[in-house]
Every structure is written in C-alpha cells, then in structure tokens.
Structure 1
Amino acid sequence: MLLQSTMEALRQLKLPAMAQALEEQSLLPQTQELSFEERLGLLLDRELYARDQRRLGRLLQVAHFKHNACAEDIDYRASRGLDRARTASLIQCTWIRQGQHLLITGPTGTGKTWLACALGLQGCRQGLSVRYLRLPRLFGELKIRHGDGSFGRYLATLAKTDLLILDDWGLAPMGPEDVRDLLEILDDRVNRTATLITSQLPVSHWHDYLGEPTVADAILDRLVHTAHRLELKGGSLRQKRECRDTAKVDPS
C-alpha cells in the first residue's frame, strides 16, 4: 500500500520515470540488497535520463532535419577533404554556443546537407535549439509572413534559435526582397547565435550571387569573415553508393 501511495505521489510531482523505476525495483529481489542511497540514485538517474530524452525529442521535432544523420556515422574514408581533427572540434559544438558560423561548400552529392544535419543533431543532443531550413523554401515562407503580418514574430523565433541551418544557398535566384530579408535574419544573429550554410557555390562567388552590392557587403561582413569553413571535394557520394549497389545486384 505504501509503495502505491509513493508511486502516485511521484506521478503527481511529474516524476513518472522515477515512479516506474520504483515499481521495477519492487519486482527485482536483488535491488533489496542495495542501500537506500544507491536505490535513490538509480531512481534519480532514470528520471534525468527520461527528461533528457523528452527534451531531445522536442528539439528534433522543431529542427526537422532532412537526414537522419549523426556524428558517429561520418565517413572520413572518402577523398572529399574532410579533416578528422577539425570535424571532431566542430562536433563539440563550442562554436554553436559561442554564436559562430560554419560554411560548408562543395560540389553536389559530396554530403554537405548530411554533414550539416549530423552537426545539428549533435547540437540537439547537447540541449541546443536547431532549425533546418532550405533557403528557397524559407524565402517562400517569408513572403507569406510578410502578407499575414507575422514576419516580425517569425524573425524573433529564428533569432532565438541556437543554430540555424540554411541549406541550398545559391541553388535558386534571390530577388531584392529575399536579399533584404536574409540580411535581417543574419543581423539578428551576429555574435549571438550560430548559422550553418551549405552551398555548391564557392564563397568567392557569393557576392555576385546576392546581386545587390551594398546589401551583399553587409551580409558577407556578418557571415563570412570570421566563419569556420569546410570545403568538400570529390565526386558524388550518392553515385558511388549507387554503383556499389548495382555491382552487388549484377553478377556479370
């Protein structure tokens, strides 16, 4: 009876994992050999773990990553210029907490988006908020929010995000309004929150891509000069995987 009352009290205190762990302990005779402090420590560990998992789930739901990628699966064997030591430093996520930027460039298929998602997941694992957005879709979303009056609120939400991933930079043309909106987004993030950009365009071509010289100068000043850079090389990893899969199927 006392056990049931204790578990109910734990649930009322919003400690459901701790209540479940207590019930499990009551069914395991070996736990009776543990001291009170040891049993309490196990209960607290279960609750902390459950809370961490719930928080991670919420962060992942908001992040909306394109790929289910993680740092443990990064492939360093492909000849694409990915330095293991430098990548390991980025995986620590210090650059995110310090509000720094990361630019990942390289030809199509070299794994830019996958790597960005892996680094974003690592940030979520450390309790940091992340949002993944394809730049062409972002501009479409901003046009809608200009129309319905929610543009300012949306900018405030993006500004509070610890890491904003902007994928496919340079894939589609940008109009003057798009360039100005991008400046607003990046200006809110300077020295406060981190931005990760992936692009097929070399950084040296970004000024021409942005089109408006004055605004382009302002954007690149906020984004490029002190950013970390990863320049991936080589052919498409997707094509290589397809060739391997075909070779496995075709016995000739």
Structure 2
Amino acid sequence: MQATIDQLQQMKLTGLLEAWREQQALPTYHDLSFDERLALIVEREYIRRQNQRLQRRLRQARLPVQATLDAVDFDVPRGLQKLQFLEFAQGHWLQENLCLVLMGPTGVGKSFLASVLANHLCKQGHTVRYIKTADLVLELKLSKADGSYPKLRKQLAAYDLLVLDEWLRDPLSLYEAREVLDILDERFRKASCLFATQMPVEQWHPQIQDPTLADAILDRIVHDAMKLSLRGESMRKLTSKLNKQQENNHEFKSGEEPQSGATQNSKPKAQKGKGNEGN
C-alpha cells in the first residue's frame, strides 16, 4: 500500500490521499459501498483543486480589497440599485464581451464596488486583472524597457475582465493614449473591461491629449457600455458620522459624560475589516 501512497503523493493528489486516510481511520465509512467511498474521495480532491484554482485567480486579480457581496451597503442613498448590481455580479455581460462604466464622486465606493464584482466573478471561474490606469501605463512602459512587453500585452488581452480604476483621473499624453488604445483594441468585443472613474463620460474626451486617439478610445467603450452612476457623500465621511453617533448613543445609555481622557475601551469603535465599506 505504501507504493500507492507514494504514487498519489508524486501525482500531488493530496486531497484524495487525505480522504482515503480519513476513511481508513473512521469506522463510520466502513459500511459504505466501494462506489460511495470512491465518490467521496474523488469529491475531496475535486474541491481541493477548485479551491486552489480560485486562490490562484484571486492572487492574479490583485484586488485592493477582498470584499464580498454581503459587505455592500445598499441602504446608503447613492444611486446604487441592489437588483441591478446583483445582475452585474452574475457576469452575463462578460459572456457578451460588454464593458461596464462605474462613475461617481470621490469616496462614494467605486473601487470597493469594482472589487466586489471582480471578487465575485473570480469565484464564478472568470479571470480578472485589477489595476489603476496610471499603474497600467507605467507597467507597459517598464515592460518595454525589460523586454517583457509582448508577454504583458498577451496577458492583458487574455483576462476575462480587465478593471481599470481611476480611469482618466489624470490626462493621457499622446504616448499613453496610444498604449491604452492598443490594449483596448485587442480586447474590443473579445473580452470585457470595467472602468471606475470620477469623470462623467462627456468629460473624457478633453482628458486625452490627441483628439483622434480620444475618438478611437471612446468609440471602443461608450457606445455598447453599460453605465452605473453613483452620487452622494463619501462613504468614509458617512462611516465617520455613524461612528460618532454610535459613540454618543453609548455615552447617553451608560449615563456617563464624555471625557477627553477616556480610554480606548470606554467607547465602541467601528470594526475595521478588509471587507467593510468606508474603511
């Protein structure tokens, strides 16, 4: 039997091996048929491999925050409709190679919501790359210097979803616009992009130095793109207000006067988790 164990280890079937050892150790499995036990063993290996692939996709995505759908606050008045957002999370637009433009003022939650969508789509099996537009331009420039440009271009074309955060926050020079256009052109109607931006679509054109390149870039985005426009106060500002309100309520209920020298434990603090909006 040791030879079989060695073979399983060499083939890196660790989930299968762990499940077999578990069945050998626990009498509860002994009453099962061979087919039932085999099915459980194979299922363990399958789940292990699926989890490995998911973790690989999440690392590849380079999301700024690992946030899930249940962390989204749909009660905040900012123009975010729950049914519409959940529909985006299903990823049907990726199958049609469409783009999504997420617009709104600073702090309203664009990057967070883009991360939520990207995280959920990774879990559905899609490949994603999340990058700020300025970082993309820099990465392309550096890749030309070290000879990895063709490889990077191939990678950027292959992702099911390319998320460009802070889209057109800074104006694009002639050189930068050419580089961005090349990336968008390779993905046009072949794969999806998500643009998170402070700039309304009608203000995009002046942000691109060359008018001809601006026309070409916008032509590949705006006509078929779905749009989600957000509004309202900064989520960080709203969270700060809520925290202060909770602190005041706590002081009122406890019958204590606010003290400037209060210790950290004397007031409740908002829990800061990597999946919370506004943090």
- TM-score, length-scaled by structure 1: 0.93
* Structure 1 stretches of at least 4 aligned residues deviating more than 4 Å after TM superposition: none
Task: For 1:222-237, list aligned pairs within 5 A.
Answer: 222-237=220-235
Letter in 2 for 1:45: E
State the match for 1:22 in structure 2: 20
Question: Which of 187, 208, 211 pairs up with 1:210?
Answer: 208
Q: Deviations over 1:64-108 (max 9, x none)?
A: 101111123222111111122211211111212332111100011
State the match for 2:199 in structure 1: 201
Q: CA–CA distance in 2 between the matches of 1:205 and 1:111?
A: 20
Q: CA–CA distance in 1 between the matches of 2:167 and 2:215?
A: 16
Question: Which of 147, 150, 157 pairs up with 1:149?
Answer: 147
Following TM superposition, by how much is the alpha carbon of 1:5 offset from its aligned partner in structure 2, in angstroms? 4.4
Task: For 1:112-191, list aligned pairs within 5 A.
Answer: 112-191=110-189
Tell whether the 8 Å contact from 1:7 to 1:23 is kept in structure 2 after alignment: no
Following TM superposition, by how much is the alpha carbon of 1:132 offset from its aligned partner in structure 2, in angstroms? 0.7
Q: CA–CA distance in 1 between the matches of 2:37 and 2:5?
A: 15
State the match for 2:67 in structure 1: 69
Bigger Rg, which one: 2
Task: For 1:22-101, list aligned pairs within 5 A.
Answer: 22-101=20-99
Following TM superposition, by how much is the alpha carbon of 1:159 offset from its aligned partner in structure 2, in angstroms? 0.5
Q: Deviations over 1:2-46 (max 9, x none)?
A: 4x4443332233311010011111111111122222111111111
Tell whether the 8 Å contact from 1:130 to 1:165 is kept in structure 2 after alignment: yes
Q: CA–CA distance in 1 between the matches of 2:8 and 2:95?
A: 34
Following TM superposition, by how much is the alpha carbon of 1:147 offset from its aligned partner in structure 2, in angstroms? 2.8
Secondary structure in 2 aligned to 1:118?
A: helix
Tell whether the 8 Å contact from 2:108 to 2:231 is kept in structure 1 after alignment: yes
Tell whether the 8 Å contact from 2:173 to 2:210 is kept in structure 1 after alignment: no
Aligned residues: 250
Q: Percent identity?
A: 38
CA RMSD of aligned residues (A): 1.6
Following TM superposition, by how much is the alpha carbon of 1:210 offset from its aligned partner in structure 2, in angstroms? 1.6
Q: CA–CA distance in 2 between the matches of 1:201 and 1:208?
A: 11
Tell whether the 8 Å contact from 1:130 to 1:164 is kept in structure 2 after alignment: yes
Letter in 2 for 1:101: C
Q: CA–CA distance in 2 between the matches of 1:95 and 1:71?
A: 18
State the match for 1:245 in structure 2: 243
Secondary structure in 2 aligned to 1:188?
A: helix
Q: Structure 2: which 5+ residue stretches go unaligned? A: 252-257, 259-279
- TM-score, length-scaled by structure 2: 0.85
Tell whether the 8 Å contact from 2:170 to 2:207 is kept in structure 1 after alignment: no
Secondary structure in 2 aligned to 1:33?
A: coil
Q: CA–CA distance in 2 between the matches of 1:140 and 1:13?
A: 41
Letter in 1 for 2:77: S
Tell whether the 8 Å contact from 1:7 to 1:22 is kept in structure 2 after alignment: no
Q: Structure 1: which 5+ residue stretches go unaligned? A: none
Letter in 1 for 2:6: E
State the match for 2:7 in structure 1: 9
